[in-house]
Structure 1
């Protein structure tokens, strides 16, 4: 677990091929490098799955959204399933307005996302 100015990012293996990345706090211009670094440190293999648990995310600005879009692109290039889980309804609404619900698979809970990717 690593924390950077109010953002905590924790990567936990759920199984050999499926990991859960929990993001808590504020994801903004100042804290987004922590998430970017955590995603860059993780080695993806074809067929793997990654659930980004955002149930403890309190705020997300355009920089944070850009990091998530870059993670989606990297996952696609690596043939890795990526799902977002637990988005606050207000943040989820912003993602929907931006059309990101067509890009990402959204799940109400991390458990639902894990089940869908398993």
Structure 2
């Protein structure tokens, strides 16, 4: 079984934008983990994740996001999530994790907060 998750990374002046499109689950999460680890290991600790096109996220995906958030914060940075909608919003709300992340309606809002 293969799930589809497209990951696009864009290095901006004051943050790194990571756009997730598709499904984040136990299979795709194990493919995403090395990319996020590499960003953090290279010192890109100011992350904005665009999830507007993320259709699904399971518990392993949530765990990966929490771990990435914690690593970024421990390194003096942040991980902000933008564009939380639909099923992903519901999953974060039902699990109580909506409050665990800085969440913004759009990438523009997350970037504005990142540059404050």
Which TM-score bucket, shorter chain as reference? 0.7 to 0.9
2:6 alignment partner, SS class: strand
Cα distance in 2 between the residues matched to 1:25 and 1:89? 13
Contact persistence 2:56–2:87 (CA under 8 A): no
**Contact 1:11–1:22 (CA<8 Å) still a contact in 2?**
yes
1: CA distance, partners of 2:80 / 2:51: 10
2:29, 2:61 within 8 Å by CA — same for their partners in 1? yes
SS at match of 2:89: helix
Alignment-derived partner of residue 24 in structure 2: 27
Q: 1:52 aligns with which of 38, 41, 49?
A: 49
User: What is residue 107 of structure 1 aligned with on the other side?
Assistant: 104
Residue equivalent to 2:5: 7
- RMSD, aligned α-carbons: 1.6
For 2:93, the equivalent position in structure 1 comes to 96
Structure 2 gap segments, 5+ residues each: none
Match of 2:35 in 1: 38
TM-score (norm 2): 0.87
**Unaligned 5+ runs, structure 1:** none
Report SS of the residue matched to 2:56.
Answer: strand
Superposed displacement of residue 101, structure 1: 2.4
Separation of aligned partners in 2, 1:6 and 1:115:
30
